[in-house]
């Protein structure tokens, strides 16, 4: 068995009366990295890569541990041909270079061999895509987009949140906000699906460790993350489901440090089928897995920490919107066409608070045409 799976990698330390998690250093001795072009001295540029990630940090770590750094590239050039300002991994940190034999051996993302838009190349006006059908994810993304504020620095998570970027493109407001993704891209339109992490026409790309320094410092104005499992306190679990461990990723860093947090996901999981487009929402078949349960299996987002920090938190689904309050979750909106008891309360394991001002979600969300979205400034509610 690998040694790292039998040793504790994390311990709890108390500093000035507060508990913190201390992560032991990883004593890595091999790094498998990638770039675009290498010269004869092993200097690496990344002009065709959509992200830089932690390539430099990993190469430095392994080099300092006396290990071996291996970098896969598309091509080799002679010394002196690379622009030194474009070198992302200096040759002093590289032990071996491997040239990919085919483009398919050097996929830019899990889904695409090479998309020049992710490197900011090509004509942006020629990339207009067909509008997404009005499915549950788009309904959720539209409702979330109503919360966007002009000039806000954002983070979009995987799943329903990634569709918000499609909505802002469709509504023509993408340039009014600054989207970021944790691997390092800033601005532009974040990609979805198996290309998640890449961004079309980004304004800048930094390394992933630099991006998390920014996130941990509270730099994100609004974060839109997935909603997998939520309990009556408002705690979320996106990391452990029975014996399956998906892991926390950057979820904790982002949600506990962003100024506003919006959790976005379908109300139930499984074979959910809906119908919409005429201003109403109809549940044809509900999902067989309840997501609003008495107690989550693992706390990936702590509602108590959010309350202590007075953080505004919304939970956005295709049929209902909740907000975090001192006593738990408060239902503040339901979709037009939805039966409160049958479609919402009966599909939950607990009874939420119900706002005295419970209202219908904006009808525009459920009409199959652009909403005419305009973004408010940070002191206003979007309209």
> Which residues are the active-site residues?
182
Tokens 């452990």, located at residue:
240
Q: Give strand pairing partners of 276.
A: 281
Phi, psi of 231 (to 5 degrees): -115, 180
Angle at 316 between CA 313 and CA 321, to 5 degrees: 90
CB contact burial 80-103 (16+ within 10 A = b; e otherwise): eebeeeebbbbbebbbebeeeeee
CB count within 10 Å of CB 379 equals 6
Helix (H, G, I), strand (E, B) or coil at 156: strand
For residue 356, CA distances in Å to 47, 310, 312, 316, 329 come to: 55, 22, 19, 19, 14
Radius of gyration of the CA atoms of the chain, in A: 23
CB count within 10 Å of CB 364 equals 15
Q: How far apart are the first and last CA of the chain?
A: 56
Contact 33, 88 (CB under 8 A): no
Rounded CA separation 174/183 (Å): 20
């Amino acid at each position: 068995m690998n040694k790292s799976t039998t040793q504790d990698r994390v311990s709890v330390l108390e500093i000035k009366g507060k508990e913190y998690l201390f992560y032991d250093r990883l004593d890595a001795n091999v790094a498998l990295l990638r770039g675009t072009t290498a010269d004869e001295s092993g200097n690496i540029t990344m002009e065709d890569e959509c992200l830089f990630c932690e390539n430099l940090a990993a190469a430095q770590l392994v080099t300092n541990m006396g290990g071996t750094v291996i970098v896969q590239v598309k091509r080799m050039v002679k010394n002196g041909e690379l622009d030194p300002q474009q070198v992302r991994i200096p040759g002093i940190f590289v032990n071996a270079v491997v040239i990919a034999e085919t483009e398919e051996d050097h996929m830019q993302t899990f889904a695409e061999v090479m998309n020049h838009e992710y490197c900011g190349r090509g004509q942006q006006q020629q990339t207009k895509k067909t509008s997404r059908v009005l499915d549950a994810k788009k309904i959720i993304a539209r409702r979330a987009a109503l919360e966007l504020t002009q000039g806000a620095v954002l983070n979009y998570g995987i799943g329903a949140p990634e569709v918000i970027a499609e909505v802002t493109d469709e509504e023509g407001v993408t340039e009014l906000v600054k989207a970021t993704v944790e691997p390092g891209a800033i601005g532009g339109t974040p990609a979805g699906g198996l290309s998640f992490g890449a961004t079309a026409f980004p304004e800048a790309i930094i390394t992933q460790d630099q991006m998390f320094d920014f996130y941990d410092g509270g730099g994100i104005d609004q974060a839109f993350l997935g909603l997998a499992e939520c309990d009556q306190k408002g705690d979320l679990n996106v990391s452990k489901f029975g014996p399956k461990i998906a892991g926390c990723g950057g979820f904790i860093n982002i949600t506990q440090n962003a100024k506003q947090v919006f959790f976005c996901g379908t109300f139930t999981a499984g074979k959910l089928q809906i119908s919409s487009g005429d201003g109403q929402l109809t549940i044809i078949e509900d999902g067989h897995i309840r997501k609003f349960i008495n107690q989550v299996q693992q706390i990936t987002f702590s509602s108590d920490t959010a309350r202590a920090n007075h953080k505004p938190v919304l939970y956005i689904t295709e049929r209902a919107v909740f907000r975090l309050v001192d006593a738990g979750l408060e239902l503040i909106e339901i979709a037009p066409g939805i039966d409160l008891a049958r479609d919402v309360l009966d599909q939950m394991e607990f009874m939420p608070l119900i706002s005295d001002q419970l209202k219908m979600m904006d009808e525009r969300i459920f009409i199959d045409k652009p909403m005419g979205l305009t973004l408010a400034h940070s002191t206003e509610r979007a309209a």
